[in-house]
Copies of this chain bind each other. A is one copy, B any other.
Amino acid sequence: MGRMMKTMDGNEAAAYIAYAFTEVAAIYPITPSSPMAELVDAWASTGKKNIFHQPVRVVEMQSEAGASGAVHGSLQGGALTTTFTSAQGLLLMIPNMYKIAGELLPCVFHVAARAVATHALSIFGDHQDVMATRQTGFALLCSNSVQEVMDLAGVAHLSAIKGRVPFLHFFDGFRTSHEIQKVEVMDYEDLKNLLDMKAVDEFRNRSLNPERPVLRGTAQNPDIYFQQRESANPYYERIPNIVESYMNEINRITGRDYKLFNYYGDPEAENIIVAMGSVCETIEEVIDYLRSKGEKVGLIKVHLYRPFSAKHFFQVLPKTVKRIAVLDMTKEPGSLGEPLYLDVKSLFYNSELKPLIIGGRYGLGQKDTTPSQIIAVYENLKSPNPKDRFTIGIVDDVSYTSLEVKEEIDTTPAGTIRCKFWGLGSDGTVGANKMAIKIIGDKTDLYAQGYFEYDSKKSGGTTISHLRFGKKPIKSEYMVYDADFVSCHNKSYIYHYDILKGLKDGGTFVLNCSWNERELEEFLPVQMKKFIKQHNIQFYIVDAEGIAQEIGLGRRINMIMQAAFFKLANVLPVDKAIDYLKEHVEKTYGRKGEEIVKLNYQAIERGINGLVKVNVPDHWANLEETEEEKTKDEPEFIKRILRPMARHDGDDLPTSAFVGMEDGTFPLGTSAYEKRGIAIMIPQWQTDNCIQCNQCAYVCPHAVIRPFLLDEEEKRNAPETFETKKAVGKGLEGLEFRIQVSPLDCT
Contacts and interface: CB of A to CB of B under 8 A. Distances in A.
A232 B394 contact: no
B102 A120 contact: yes
Interface stretch (A121-129, A265-273, A275-283, A517-525): A121-129
Given A221-B455, A650-B223, A663 B334 contact: no
A235 B662 CA distance: 9
Interface string A213-225: 1111111111111
Contacts of A473: none
Contacts of A139: 334
Interface in A112-171: 115-124, 128, 131-132, 134-140, 164-165
B224 A399 contact: no
15 contacts: A103-B663, A104-B119, A117-B217, A120-B225, A122-B225, A124-B225, A134-B332, A137-B332, A137-B333, A220-B456, A222-B368, A223-B645, A230-B394, A231-B661, A336-B346
A347 to B, nearest CB: 6
A121 B220 contact: yes
Interface stretch (A182-190, A305-313, A423-431, A592-600): A305-313
Interface stretch (A92-100, A292-300, A497-505, A730-738): A92-100
Nearest to A220: B120
A49 interface: no
Contacts of A345: 342, 345-346, 349
A456 to B, nearest CB: 5
Interface stretch (A35-43, A359-367, A616-624): A359-367
Given A135-B132, A393-B226, A664-B217, A333 B650 contact: no
A89 to B, nearest CB: 10
A535 B227 CA distance: 33
B228 A655 contact: yes
Contacts of A103: 118-119, 663-664
A237 B117 contact: no
A330 B92 CA distance: 21
Given A227-B654, A229-B364, A216 B333 contact: no
A310 B342 CA distance: 14
A308 B333 contact: no
Interface string A661-674: 11111111010000
A401 interface: yes
A657 interface: yes
Contacts of A221: 122, 124, 365, 455-456, 650
A643 to B, nearest CB: 12
Contact of A225 (B337, B367, B399, B665): B367
Given A124-B225, A226-B365, A650-B224, A663 B350 contact: no
Contact of A116 (B95, B120, B357, B399): B95
Contacts of A650: 221, 223-224
Interface string A573-601: 00000000000000000000000000000
Contact of A224 (B65, B339, B658, B668): B658
A83 interface: no
A331 interface: yes
Nearest to A237: B399
A586 B347 CA distance: 64
Nearest to A358: B350
A666 B218 contact: yes
Contacts of A8: none
A417 B350 CA distance: 45
Interface in A346-401: 346-350, 356-357, 363-368, 388, 391, 393-396, 398-399, 401
B349 A348 contact: yes
A248 B411 CA distance: 55
A602 interface: no
A363 to B, nearest CB: 8
A117 B98 contact: yes
A61 B224 CA distance: 33
A497 to B, nearest CB: 13
